[in-house]
Structure 1
Amino acid sequence: MLLPRRVVRAWLVLGLCLSLPTLECATAQEVVRDIVVEGAQRTETSTIQSYLLIQPGDPFDDARIDRSLKSLFATGLFADVSISRNGDQLVVKVVENPIINRVAFEGNERIDDKTLEAEVALRPRTIYTRAKVQSDVTRILTLYRRSGRFAATVEPKVIELPQNRVDVVFEIQEGDVTTVESIKFIGNKEFDDSELRTVIRTKESAWWRFFSTDDTYDPDRLSLDRELLRRFYLRGGYADFRVVSSVAELSPDREGFYLVFTIEEGERYKVGKVDVHTTLKGLDPTQLKDVLKLAPGDWYDADKVEKSIDALSDAVGTLGYAFVDVRPKLERNREAHTIDLAFDINEGPRVFIERIDISGNTRTQDRVIRREFRLVEGDAFDAAKLRRSRQRIQDLDFFEKVNVEQVPGNAPDRAVIKVGVEEKSTGSLSVGAGFSTGTGILGDVSVRERNFLGRGQDVVLSALLGQRRKQAELSFTEPYFLDREVSAGFDGFYIETDRQSESSFDVRTYGGDLRIGYPWSEAFTESWKYTLKSSEMFNVPSSASIFVQEAQGTETYSEISHIAAYDKRDSKIDPTSGYLAKLVTDVAGLGGSVAYMRNRIETDYYYPVAENWVLSLSGNGGIINGLGEDVKLLDRFFIGGNEVRGFKIDGIGPRDRSTNDALGGEYFYAGSVQLAFPLGFPEEFRIKGRVFNDVGSSWKLQENDPNHLIEDSSSLRASAGFGMTWVSPFGPLGVDIGYAYLKENYDRTELFRLNFGTRF
């Protein structure tokens, strides 16, 4: 009879033990015969066994059992795990973590549930762990601290439900905003604390900052403040400046912070020698000195050093050198307090653009971003062009953030440009109300989409209703017509204006235009426009000027316009340096009932006198000539109001002496010298003052005037005054007080001018 195999094995082991007494005979009992799992409800037994480091047939090993215990805990599936031995069985007992049924927030008013849900890691139908809860508590507190609420507390509550489920409720006490009570500086000698407080972004708490969050403490903003201080001193010539420390101390009541910046200003340096050196063959460094932004004797300015590097890179690039590396060398003379500058221009590494990767644009099409690049795949890498490309993408105003970086490509001479964007809303529905001296009370509604269908197209539909003006407009612009750098679009408009107080008539104009424009360079652009419109003079009283009565009726215009502009301003919205020159030529008569040629020129120049002080010079002028006929009254130049402050709208120019109606001139010019400066209010108030001196004149008529009723003089008119602009939370407010000190006795003047508007 054959014996079972396990019996034979037992007899063999027993025989060995009897023949070899020194052998450890407990071996047979220390082999794991079976693994028993207890307590598992959702997790499969095989899954639990797969995490164990000991399996059936293995000897019992305390170290491996301990590691198996840690492995099961690391899964996050279990709240408790124990492993014990029962004879030759290994017993694994587990207590599973519950499943989350719901995550809720209570007590949150300043931050909504949607924002908090995006921040926490816990989600319904996921496994609950204490570690995840504590991590989410930390995340929520961080979110509140970023908004300035350091007194916020978060207490998690766990509500047990049947079937091993739980609800997780975060009970939040938001507390008050933790503001910055005081900001002090230690070590500053050249600038007092009040001046340095205007440099940094963080502000002291004050009652008027209810529309601003700059007076709440933010650690990230503190890092920005350190950098702003460094840039401020480096612009002023303090090349040795450094921020030793920046300390934020929370008050005992946890309601405010006290900030202290410890700084070392160092000495102020002037520019000594300025040289340009190069190893490039055929390049004369003396020809490049004119593009430098610094000269010997100037105060050292780190920003101007960077601008000089860009200017040199551009200048060398235009001369045909594709790969250049411009590096500045600074040599301090601490005794003379000067810094010698030497710009070394050498051949840079030969790197080509392998590809351009774009990410983050969920709505905007890739080509809208790609066409703003001054570089394409295969081009030689150019850091200056890359910076301009980033600025052009930022100027689209489609994105909250734009990040452009260079990373290595698949070969040493290849680079990949990565563009990351964060989109923002480009559509708007606005309702506005306001008042101005020229148009009275007004209201308007506007619907606009600046990135229509993600194609970068601009669509506007607006309507305005005022005491003296009614207007409706539809506009469409395609910035890259036929996928070329050509802007094309059209406008449709209806305008009705009350000009009774100036010239005793109303005018109604409606029509449309087609336009196209293209750049010749980064600064020079050219555009064309064709306009077809109808203008009607009506509501002319019998007491109006005989010249106005003769001009009433309807005229049809078929007009072609040419605009050439050269724009070197640093900003098109709020320029502080640079210049603009524009020439506009209008020719009417290709059809219609009116024929003329009109030329206008506009120039602006901006110069930063000091920090936030900007001197501006502006001038414009025009001339209109009838083509085979006299110039119509509506086509003449009417100036005053905003063109020459101190004079009413249409207050300058030819006038009927018997009725005092403005008739307009065929020639005009206007100019202004203005200095804009801060008024000492906190920067977030956005209040600026200005002083100005305006000049101008309008003259010349071809009217038949046998009775000598027309007053007409080309004499200079001039005014001087002051004003202020406040970009308030309720809309921009502009006030000007101007006194006309050179005028004719028939001119119409005004002392006070107000413009105010808001949007909701």
Structure 2
Amino acid sequence: MILGNAAGTSRYVSRFPAYMLYQALAFIFLFVATTSLVVPTPAAAQSYTFNSVQVEGNQRIQTSTIIAYTGIEAGKSISAGELNAAYQRIVDSGVFETVDLQPRGNTLVIQVEERPTINTVSIEGNRRIDDEALQGFIESKSRQVFNPARAEADAAIIAEAYSQQGRIAATVTPRIIRRSDNRVDLVFEISEGDTIEVERISFVGNQVYSDRRLRRVLQTKQAGILRSFIRADTLIEDRIEFDKQVLRDFYLSRGYVDFRILGTNVELTQERDGFFLVMNVQEGQQFRFGSITTSSEMSQADPVVFQDVLRVRPGVVYSPSLIENSIARMERLGIQQGIDFLRVEPRITRNDRDLTLDVEFVLTRGPRVFVERIDVEGNTTTLDRVIRRQFRIVEGDPFNPREIRESAERIRALGFFATADVETREGSAPDQVIVDVDVEEQPTGSLNLGGAYSVTDGFGIAIGLTENNFLGRGQRLSFNISTAQESDEYILGFSEPNLLGRDLRFDIDLGVTTRSSSFATYDLDRAFFRPALSFPVSENGTVQLRYSYENSEMLSRGEDFDTSTNPPTPLPTSGAVITNEIAQGKKTSSSIGLSYSYDSRVTGLNPNAGVLFQIGADFGGVGGDSEYIKSSAKIIAQQRVLNEEVVLRASFEAGALSWQSDRSSRSIDRYILTPAIFRGFEPAGVGPRDQSNGFDDAIGGNYYAVARLEAEFPLGLPEEIGLRGGVFYDVGNLWGLENVDTAGATCGGVVGPCGADGSWRHVVGVSLLWTTAFGPLRFNFSKALKKEVFDKEQTFDLTIQARF
């Protein structure tokens, strides 16, 4: 038993190690497998080595070019990332629709499908914008590789062009038509849609100025009855931003320093055919100038002297432009006194109690910086000197930022450039500045076709050919033809604005005029030559020196005969005075003249008021057949009242002729009044007349004086109609017949020309002013309160001046 038990135990023990071994092996295998899933092991990076590269599917693009895109070298090992980069470079070339890279052992196979080339680019469905204009917007061109992304971008550009015309509903769809040889026709299909106009512009928060007055400031306009001719009534985002700035400038120039635009709201009408534009504004209070003082931080700058050049006075409505003008005047004085680097710093103190702004102009020394040079770029036609002469400084002068800004404005005001940017940068040293002028030329020539009507000359047309930048020299050359029912005029003009590089303007006009007026019994031929020099003598004052040579002749319109006599005897064709003047034949006049003009309508202290004053005289006898002194004067004052809704205007003009030749003067030498000078009468309907021989001719006078008072005001009609009303009162006289041959002249049987001594005529009237797309129309309805029996009254006058 013991042996048996021992033997049994021995067999059990011999089996146990094998069982445990199987258990251990299973556990080790499970542990290794689990560990391999949890703990990452570094993998070997995949690499490729290609001995050759094959390209399949290419037709236009050479195989070597495609391989060059990859940058893969034969026999050189590359990674998978480098292979992917090679793929991306081929795709980025933009000439393939599909690209596939297939490694085949030691050979890389590149399969491509080329994008088609554009055969033609056409535009369909457009009527408002022509093909030529739209083709200039897009980048897709014939013989280029077709790029879908570029075609979509071109479609967006075309749609934006329609949006700028108010057609925001316009859609543009690019489509392709497959052709042979992997070519396509690219077609932009346009649905223009309707123009969505600005139906109403209104303001919220304005107390001082009415909606009507503020709308006149904006470039965006309400849709009116002439909307087919006016493009400003469409909603353009950039234009609204410009209008907001213009509106700010309008209020600031009138002293409303706290003015704010709180918001701009644009709403589509319920019918979705128009917009309502609402501007929410906050006007604030109007401020005026308080005390105005000058102090100096420079020993050589006397503040008293600089204070004396200021034109701004306490009590004047505040305007930033007046501050700018004052600073410019002071800095110019500093240059005249040889004070370099003078800067004027305005320090403003606000007085809310009395709504004034005290201004202290502090004279300080600016940084010691000089102008190293002025670089001009972009001017392909305009000469450099035309641009450079707009600067009041040259290389080596002290640098003045204000002068640079003013020079930039003068360059833009030339009208020669679409854009003109003037910037400064540091030069070769910290105390040197380089001024960069970058311009973009624009067309400066124009062909003007116009129509006109007046009771003096009837209907007519005007053709004008003008080049404002002749040969890139900044000179103006023009040729104008004006033909009407009763007059023809041909004028060739030339202007040089900066003669000899100075602020000296030279003008010359050559012309021929013929007239056959129904208001006279004679015709007129005239040729003239008129050069002139003009130059400023003050901020608002200009002097002109001129010469005039004229060859003129009064012509009879033919000779009638009395057939009741044998032989027939000639009948007179004009009155006695006109007949004597016709008999003088051709006469020449050679004169020199001098005139002075003062105009504050733009640069005055008050933006709502201005004065124009002109005085001059011409002295005949510098050769020619006529000796005389002919002087004239004119003054016009204008003021806007009632929140600038009503315009009041007063004017006075007069002239005097002192004839000194032995031979008598002619009607065309003396003054003749037209409706443009004295309303309520026909052309030459006022003043001395010759009614002898059964005729009735105006013969003019040696003296005249006319005063005009008028007011213009709104009629309460919708502004888009463009109608305003007016009333006027004119008083004037034309008289004086010294040195006139009146032999045989009668007036209603009375010997001597009528109205030689003259009398004052009085006229009242009403006007209807209509601003149209064709030009301003003025209808005058008048009544003479006092006149002479021989005057020729005219109760209605219509004047049209249009350019299109």
Provide structure 1 residue ranges, at least 5 long, that are not aligned to the other structure. Answer: 1-23
Check the 8 A contact 2:327/2:344 in 1, yes or no.
Answer: yes
Q: 2:595 aligns with which of 551, 558, 564?
A: 564
Query: Distance between the aligned counterparts of 1:310 and 1:686, measured in 2?
Result: 39
Alpha-carbon distance between aligned partners in 2 of 1:611 and 1:396, rounded to the nearest angstrom = 30
1:741-752 paired onto structure 2 within 5 Å: 741-752=785-796
Map Cα deviations across residues 145-194 of structure 1 (whole Å, 9 max, x no partner). Answer: 12221111122212233333222222221111122344454555555655
Count of residue pairs brought into register by the alignment: 731
Q: For 1:585 and 1:191, locate their aligned partners in 2 and report how far apart those are by CA, in whole Å.
A: 44
Please say if 1:700 is aligned against 2:736.
yes
State whether residues 351 and 415 of structure 1, in contact with CA within 8 Å, keep that contact through their aligned partners in structure 2.
no
Matched, 1:629 2:655: no
Spell out the pairing of 1:45-194 with structure 2 (5 A cutoff): 45-52=63-70, 55-188=73-206, 193=211
CA apart distance, 1:250: 4.8
Q: Residue 509 of structure 1 is aligned with which of 512, 516, 525?
A: 525
Q: How does 1:50-449 map to 2 (within 5 A)?
A: 50-52=68-70, 55-188=73-206, 193=211, 195-250=213-268, 255-289=273-307, 292=310, 294-334=312-352, 337-382=355-400, 385-386=403-404, 389-390=407-408, 392-393=410-411, 396-412=414-430, 413-428=432-447, 430=449, 432-449=450-467
Distance in 1, Cα, partners of 2:401 & 2:192: 47
In 2, Cα distance between equivalents of 1:351 and 1:614: 48
The alpha carbon displacement at 1:93 in A equals 3.1
Residue of structure 2 aligned with 1:712, choices 730, 753, 756: 756
Percent identity between the two aligned chains: 33
* Partner residue in 2 for 1:664: 700
Check if 1:487 corresponds to 2:498.
Answer: no
Contact 1:480/1:488 (<8 A) preserved:
no
Flag the 1:271–1:594 CA change in 2: closer, same or farther, 3 A.
closer
1:565–1:580 CA contact under 8 A, matched in 2: no
Q: Rate the CA distance shift 1:381–1:739 in 2: closer, same or farther, 3 A.
A: farther
| CA–CA separation in structure 1 for the residues paired with 2:218 and 2:489 | 44
2:618 alignment counterpart:
586
Which has more radius of gyration? 2
* RMSD between aligned residues: 3.8
The SS at the match of 1:163 is: coil
Question: 3-state SS of the aligned residue for 1:210?
Answer: coil
Specify the SS of the correspondent of 2:589: strand
CA-to-partner distance for each residue in 1:681-708, whole Å, 9 max, x for gaps?
6666665544433333232223577975
Q: Does 1:653 align with 2:671?
A: no
Superimposed CA distance per residue, residues 546-592 of structure 1 (whole angstroms, 9 cap, x where no aligned partner): 333333321412312213333434569xx975444444433333444
CA distance in 2, matches of 1:175, 1:28: 60
- Partner amino acid, structure 2, of 1:663: I
- The Cα offsets for residues 259-300 of structure 1, whole Å up to 9 and x where unpaired, read as 443444444444443333332334343454565565444444
Alpha-carbon separation, structure 2, partners of 1:53 and 1:637: 90
Per-residue CA distance 1:116-150 (angstroms, 9 max, x = gap): 22222222222222222222222222222122211
Supply the distance in 1 between the matched residues of 2:219 and 2:617 (Cα, whole angstroms): 46
d(CA) in 1 for partners of 2:710, 2:333: 33
Letter matched to residue 671 of structure 1 = A
Q: Is the 8 A contact 2:577 2:741 kept in 1?
A: no
Question: How many angstroms apart in 1 are the aligned matches of 2:282 and 2:384?
Answer: 47
Contact 2:525–2:552 at 8 Å: present in 1 too?
A: yes
- My pick for the range that moved more, 145-154 or 437-446, is 437-446
Tell me the equivalent position of 1:734. 778
Encode CA deviations 1:705-727: one digit per residue, 9 max, x unaligned.
79752433354444343424434
Amino acid at match of 1:140: I
Distance 2:118 2:390 in 1: 48
Amino acid at match of 1:273: S
Residue number in structure 1 paired with 2:629: 597
In the alignment, what sits opposite 1:551?
Answer: 581
Picking from 508, 515, 518, the partner of 1:496 is 515
Alignment partner of 2:158: what SS? Answer: helix
Task: Kindly indicate whether the alpha-carbon contact (under 8 Å) linking 1:242 and 1:263 is maintained by their aligned counterparts in 2.
Answer: yes
Q: Residue 698 of structure 2 aligns to a residue in which SS?
A: coil
Task: For 1:594 and 1:56, locate their aligned partners in 2 and report how far apart those are by CA, in whole Å.
Answer: 100
Change (3 A) 1:509 1:379: farther
- Take 1:309 and 1:754, find their aligned partners in 2: how far apart are those partners? 47
CA deviation vs aligned residue, 1:468-492 (integer Å, no higher than 9, x gap): 3343444444555676645153413
Larger mean Cα displacement after TM superposition, 351-360 or 174-183: 351-360
5+ unaligned residues in a row in structure 2: which ranges? Answer: 1-40, 559-570, 744-749
Q: Hey, what's the Cα distance between the residues in 2 that align with 1:122 and 1:705?
A: 80
Q: What displacement does 1:94 show?
A: 2.8
* Mapped contact 1:243–1:261 kept (Cα < 8 A): yes
- Contact residue 537 and residue 551 of structure 1 kept, 8 A: no
Query: 2:767 corresponds to which letter in structure 1?
Result: G
Separation of aligned partners in 2, 1:597 and 1:228: 48
**Offset at 1:531?**
0.3
Which stretch shows the higher mean deviation, 41-50 or 156-165? 41-50
Q: Is 1:639 matched with 2:656?
A: no
Rounded Cα–Cα distance in structure 2 between residues aligned with 1:240 and 1:28? 70
Q: 1:367 to 1:698 in 2, by over 3 A?
A: same
In 2, Cα distance between the equivalents of 1:717 and 1:581? Answer: 24
Cα distance in 2, alignment partners of residues 389 and 616 from structure 1 = 34
Amino acid at match of 1:423: Q
Q: More deviation in 689-698 or 378-387?
A: 378-387
Is contact 1:675–1:690 with CA below 8 Å preserved after alignment?
Answer: yes
Q: 2:797 matched to 1:753?
A: yes
Please report how far the alpha carbon of residue 34 of structure 1 lies from its aligned counterpart in structure 2 after TM superposition: 2.8
Does structure 1 conserve the Cα–Cα contact (< 8 Å) formed by 2:224 and 2:721? no
Q: Tell me, yes or no, if the aligned pair for 1:563 and 1:582 is still in contact at 8 Å.
A: no
**After alignment, is 120-129 or 360-369 more displaced?**
360-369
Larger RCO (alpha carbons 8 Å, 6+ apart) = 2
Deviates more, 1:47-56 or 1:108-117: 47-56
TM-score (norm 1): 0.84
**Which amino acid is the alignment partner of residue 634 of structure 2?**
E
Specify the code of the residue in structure 2 equivalent to 1:564. S
SS at match of 1:510: strand
Tell me if the contact between 1:154 and 1:173 (Cα under 8 Å) persists in the aligned partners.
Answer: yes
Name which of structure 1's ranges 49-58 and 551-560 shifts more when overlaid on structure 2. Answer: 49-58
Deviation (angstroms), 1:533: 0.7
Length-normalised TM-score, structure 2: 0.80
Work out whether residues 716 and 743 of structure 1, in 8 Å CA contact, stay in contact via their aligned partners in 2. Answer: yes
SS at match of 2:246: helix
Give the Å deviation of 1:32: 1.2
- Whether the 8 Å CA contact 1:278–1:346 is kept in 2: the answer is yes
Deviation at 1:417, TM superposition (A): 4.2
Of 27, 51, 56, the match for 1:34:
51
The residue type paired with residue 619 of structure 2 is: V
Aligned-partner SS, 2:49: coil
